[in-house]
Structure 1
Amino acid sequence: MTEPASPIRLAVVNDYEVVVRGIAAMLAPFGDRVQIVEMDSDAGVIREVDIALYDTFSTPALEDDSVDDVIRNPRVRRTVLYTWVLTPELVADARRRGIEAALPKGIEAGALVRALERIHAGEVLLDLIHDEDDTPAEGVSWPGQREGLTARESEVVALITDGLSNQEIATRAYLSINSVKSYIRSAYRTMGVTSRSQAVLWGIDHGFARNRVRIAHPNGEAS
């Protein structure tokens, strides 16, 4: 495959600054191939970009309005989901909505860049790449990581902090109710809490409140 003559202009989108900064750091060694022009946390893309990489942390269900905002944005040529979840239902919904690809978080940075180049060249990568492993690629970040939460535990805690019930979390995160309960138990042990109200307070104190920030370089490169 011929590499693009100029770097792909990429926006990284999620509701948590730590998440978008982690992806940017992971892709930094590939700056000659992928130029991150925006990192948007709960803020719409305002620059012209070839691809918006939408990290589904805490918002994996495609019913979420923020996903549609990215897809409909005229400044975004292609939308790509970056997700743990690659179920047939999600793939079918992504295809129906006009999303060009759903890529698993377990792939390493080089493979992610190669996939973005294929998408930029016009390929549709839906239900082509599957990964059942919950192990994140090196460099991926999430709230509570320093405190010892796994990526999936962190996602569940984020949804608890948002006020969702166990059943709502299961639906939102494409998990069984038993898996949700298991993640909650293990997360609570790590957090040192015993109740949902304590978990919410812990989450607020440890970066689980959604934050609104846009990080962009005046010349189109992320700061």
Structure 2
Amino acid sequence: MHVLLADDHSIVRTALKYVLSELTDTLKVVEAKTYGEARDHIDDSEPFDLVMLDLRMPELEGLDDIRDLVNRAGGCPVAVFTVSESPEEMRAVLKCGVRAYIPKSTDDSLIATILKLVLEGGSYVPPVLGGAAQQVLLEESVDLTGGAASAGAQLEGLTRRQRDVLQLMAQGLSNQEIGSRLDLNLSTVKSHVTGVLRALGAENRTQAVLIFQQQATAAPH
């Protein structure tokens, strides 16, 4: 996986490399400290699979630069990873074609799942833009709420066994591994996974795990 990390803080780039290494064994990272460097890398390097961009970096002057970078990246998804949590700024940036807006305050357990979703063709916006009613937006604009019900209410509607399966899905276990852990045959596990996806209104396992992780993070401790 070929990734461009554009952030002027080395500690942030290092942390992102660690997160990305959990998604692939063939990670190749190109780093940029300024907007100009990021633009040049996109123009001159082999195609990237993902571009991650900080909004508060040298030489990045506004929305026109973001649009330009998205256009230069072509079909490669651009994800913003930044300190700003302003809903107005989020909306403006997403309108530029950015596929994910990830505040740096996002729990680290969610970031890898969000990036996996983006790499699979989905999009992500923070819950603040849609409130509790809409936390994840895929290209097909899937409504995760099942109408008026919140994602939290959907999780409460899962059976005990479905919850067990979802928790193991969130740990990255395959159906075969889940079956071994819960002493279930493969067809039963597949049935439970299908039930989880249906109950959450999720299109795939990654989306279901993201819903679960966001609710777990939001739950009071």
| TM-score, normalization by structure 1 | 0.45
Which one has more relative contact order, counting CA pairs under 8 Å at least 6 apart?
1
| TM-score, normalization by structure 2 | 0.45
- Bigger CA radius of gyration: 2
> Which protein is richer in strand relative to its size?
1
